[in-house]
Structure 1
Amino acid sequence: MSRKAAASFLALLVLAALFWAGRQSLEELDPLRLLEALAQLRDRWWLPLAFIAAYAALCAVGVPGTVPTLLAGATWGPLWGTLYNVIGSNLGAGAAFWVGRSLGRDWMERFFGDALAGLERRLEKNGFQVILSLRLIPIFPFNMINFAAGLSSVRYSDYAAASLLGMLPATFIYTYLADSLLKGAIQGREAFGRVAVAGALLLGLSLLPRFYRRFIGAGGDHARR
């Protein structure tokens, strides 16, 4: 069994154990109380600032932002949640860019290996277009793009603009999904349509890499030949 498969299997066991241990608490969870608690959090003026700062710090050190993205959607809804997520993730991506540029290639290759060099070569050719495509269609991990862009010769202005535009659709989808799931737990069938829409958007986003590799990527390879 490979290390990746073993790690995945271990993660599933841990999740199953946590679910089994907390099943009683989940059954007793009152969605209305959860909504009231989130409403109290929204009234605190400093919370968005603290959230944005924490999100940016997590991204800067290479921690995936899926959990804070969903948390913002559940707390502030699709509009304000998306805004706070976009600000936090882009600040963190910018910080990671400068971290990569400061630490250098040798340090980064310890974590990402040969894949980093391949991504860096792509960025050297057309940084803005490549970053925009990779943000829209996440073939490479989010954090690898941040650090690789810092190692390349791409200008920070191009990197920041492409990241902002490219990350917006996926950020909105995940934020909307979290809000829809929370409303669905409270409103039942009335929110089923929103959950279905969010699920369809998420499914479409997950299929984009396969579509890119099959059609656009294949066309690019054929043109180079």
Structure 2
Amino acid sequence: MNRQTLTRIVLFAALVVAIGSAYLYRDQLNVAALESWVKDAGALGPLLYIALYASATVLFLPGSLLTLAGGALFGPVWGTLYSLTGATLGATLAFLVARYLAREWVRQRTGGILKKLLDGVDAEGWKFVAFVRLVPLFPFNLLNYALGLTRIGLMAYIAASFVFMFPGALAYTYLGYAGREAVAGGEGLIQKGLLALALLALVAFLPRLIKRLRGAPTTGEGKLSSADLKARLERRDDITVLDVRPAKDYIGELGHIPGSINIPIDELPNRLPELESLHDRPLAVICRTNKMSGKAVRMLRETGLFKQALLVNDGMVGWCQAQGQAVPAASGNECSAMPVPGGVSAGTGKTVTIVIQNAPYKGDNKAWHALRFAGAALTEDMKVRVHLLDDGVQLARRDQTVPKGATDLGQLLAELMECGLEVRACGMSLDGCRLDEKDLMPGIQQGSMKALAGWAQESDIMLTF
């Protein structure tokens, strides 16, 4: 055993003992004790507070208590600065400890998915640090050590941590300050309390905002047309085509691109290991149009492995047209082809629930009209849900028999689900029609009247056909 290895073992043992001791005596760390220590330190009180905060971060003690105490002891401005400084210093120390003790050891023993995840974090660098500081996906203290195992630069790590921990530090520091003022009976308690709540609400909303931004539709930088894809394939560029349509559509009337990989979107999360070898090359994702493939692109990018996932924005319909092939009837984007019903304004973003009770292909064509309305609503940026009830559950049956001259409602329903339509079939009605889940089209879930009631409460528009 060489000297460097021995040193690392000794340091690791000392760290474990220190963390264990801190855990055993954690009850002695409270606001009253902190206030006493800071006052006894006099002018050095802020430095003592920063040092305590940094030590607590390294030793896995809760930082929220210290941040609240900082607001109570130093006020909202200096308390935020001292808390943020202590948190950043502690995070940096933990980062350096992990980097010195274990990074190379971990790197030498990781492979497969874990190695690619680490590589993905390395590639994002400070952006990844910014994201996890704003959105606390993992415990703060543990995350500091975990980031030390990556190749993220030290200065980028420090800067991103300091800047993007600021919103949380400000909110909790101000909350501690407002609490101290309330106990002391200071002036303007209502305003200070409301401001503290507003800051906490902002911090609580940040994860949802960041998630929405990360899950937003793919930008133009991540798109290419079928004509562009055709040109790249003809040049034999290093690009792979991933077709996320169901297997029956992959070999159906629109056909598929020679050499493409077919993984239906509902199977994609479980079959990602099949694509591991393609993580560092462009991956063109295609479906019939672009709705499901857009979701697949976001899914691939969120893994951190497939940074070059590209959306083929006009899908197989555009591919057929680019090849000069005739597009079969009803193969276009049914969502955009339907007229907007009167009385529904464009771009409302409302939620619509449609209940279909009538069996398909009846003389009144209610099921057909319901699906046409669903398609029109989808084009108007609405969230659309369909609940199949009574005889309407027959619409969910796979491999339906289509009467001569009638529109294939099963195919239309499948295309609308590609456009984002959510469909459930009532369990009691399925029993009445002697159907079970294995008889349903892919993507349709079994529902209940309780679930329908929940949908109704959330909906702006409720229709029954």
Q: Mark yes or no: TM-score above 0.5.
A: yes
The equivalent of 1:23 in structure 2 is none
The equivalent of 2:128 in structure 1 is 130
The equivalent of 2:140 in structure 1 is 142
The equivalent of 1:67 in structure 2 is 65
Contact 1:62/1:96, CA 8 A, preserved across alignment: no
* TM-score between both structures, scaled by the size of structure 2: 0.36
> What is the root-mean-square deviation in Å for CA atoms of aligned residues?
3.0
Q: Matched residues in 1 for 2:207 and 2:131: separation?
A: 10
Q: Matched residues in 2 for 1:107 and 1:180: separation?
A: 47
Matched, 1:213 2:242: no
User: Does the C-alpha gap of structure 1 residues 212 and 42 become closer, same or farther in structure 2, counting only changes over 3 Å?
Assistant: farther
User: Does the C-alpha gap of structure 1 residues 98 and 185 become closer, same or farther in structure 2, counting only changes over 3 Å?
Assistant: same
Q: Matched residues in 1 for 2:198 and 2:83: separation?
A: 21
Q: Name the amino acid aligned to 1:154.
A: I
Q: Matched residues in 2 for 1:85 and 1:152: separation?
A: 26
Q: Matched residues in 2 for 1:132 and 1:214: separation?
A: 16
| Deviation (angstroms), 1:107 | 9.5
Contact 1:122/1:130, CA 8 A, preserved across alignment: no
The equivalent of 1:90 in structure 2 is 88
Q: Deviations over 1:117-167 (max 9, x none)?
A: 787454211111110122122222212331122100111011011111111
Q: Name the amino acid aligned to 2:48.
A: A
Q: Matched residues in 1 for 2:116 and 2:181: separation?
A: 43
Q: Matched residues in 2 for 1:161 and 1:136: separation?
A: 14
Q: Name the amino acid aligned to 1:187.
A: G
Q: Matched residues in 1 for 2:185 and 2:77: separation?
A: 20
User: Does the C-alpha gap of structure 1 residues 119 and 207 become closer, same or farther in structure 2, counting only changes over 3 Å?
Assistant: farther
| Deviation (angstroms), 1:65 | 0.7
Contact 2:41/2:48, CA 8 A, preserved across alignment: no
- Unaligned 5+ runs, structure 2: 1-31, 107-113, 219-296, 302-308, 311-465
* TM-score between both structures, scaled by the size of structure 1: 0.70
Q: Matched residues in 2 for 1:61 and 1:55: separation?
A: 10
The equivalent of 1:159 in structure 2 is 157
Q: Matched residues in 1 for 2:72 and 2:116: separation?
A: 37
Contact 1:60/1:99, CA 8 A, preserved across alignment: no
| Deviation (angstroms), 1:81 | 0.8
The equivalent of 1:171 in structure 2 is 169
Q: Deviations over 1:15-42 (max 9, x none)?
A: xxxxxxxxxxxxxxxxxxx9xx88x929
User: Does the C-alpha gap of structure 1 residues 188 and 137 become closer, same or farther in structure 2, counting only changes over 3 Å?
Assistant: same
Q: Which runs of 4+ in 1 moved over 4 A?
A: 105-108, 116-119, 218-221
Q: Matched residues in 2 for 1:52 and 1:119: separation?
A: 33
Matched, 1:58 2:56: yes
Identity %: 36
Of 172-181 and 131-140, more deviation after overlay is shown by 131-140
The equivalent of 2:334 in structure 1 is none
The structure that is helix-richer by fraction is 1
The equivalent of 1:30 in structure 2 is none
1:103 to 101, 104, 107: 101
Which one has a bigger Cα radius of gyration?
2
